Amino acid sequence: MWRHQGEGFGPPAHFKRWMRGGFGPPWMAGPRARRGDVRIGILSVLAERPMHGYEIIRELESRSGGRWRPSPGSVYPTLQLLEDEGLIKGDDRDGKRVFEITGEGEAALAARSQDDAGAPWDAADESGDPFAGLRNAVFQLGAAAMQVGGTGSPEQLARAKQILDEARKKVYGILAET
């Protein structure tokens, strides 16, 4: 049951924000990227192969080990801006807008590489976030559990649930230590 929130009953405000489109609970939010990081991230992954917007988001998340996932609200406007600037071009293929880097985009990416600023997903590693390692471990554990949930037999599902229950108890046990 939700506690009273002043103007009625319902979830706490941070859960309302999460439910309106967040990709994870508020306490799992990774470091926020600067606007230029999204730009360079997009150009970097498109330099390897053409992709549509969702693929770009997933690729950036994958390269950071799940620590950085730019939101669609930052990626899609950046794609439009990069296309307007002539750094990428988009084509409709099989009902999706697929983007690829242009020669100008490659030149812009090469100029940035000479500055030796590194990849934006590397910055997520160096954020100084004390929870980064724990967040990554939770992300990887969740991915493994989802894999078992999607393809496992009933016996494998039961074993996975038992392991997760034991892990939860052990983690809480850490807090109980003196």
For residue 21, what pLDDT is reported? 43
Ordered DSSP codes for 7-37 = SSB---HHHHHHHTT-SS-GGG--PPPPHHH
Say what the pLDDT of residue 139 is: 77
Place of tokens 């996975």: 160
pLDDT along the chain (178 residues), means of 10: 50 50 46 63 92 92 78 90 94 93 91 65 55 74 86 93 92 82
With CA atoms as reference, report the closest residue to 40 among 68, 18, 65.
68
Contact 26, 14 (CB under 8 A): yes
- Cα distance between residue 131 and residue 120, in whole Å: 19
Q: Which two tokens mark 129?
A: 């976030």
Task: Give the model's pLDDT for residue 11.
Answer: 57
What is the predicted pLDDT for the residue at 171?
A: 86
Angle between helices 35-46 and 72-84 (to 10 degrees): 70
pLDDT at 165: 94
Cβ-contact 68, 120 below 8 angstroms:
yes
Tokens of 50: 């053409």
Model-level pTM greater than 0.85?
Answer: no
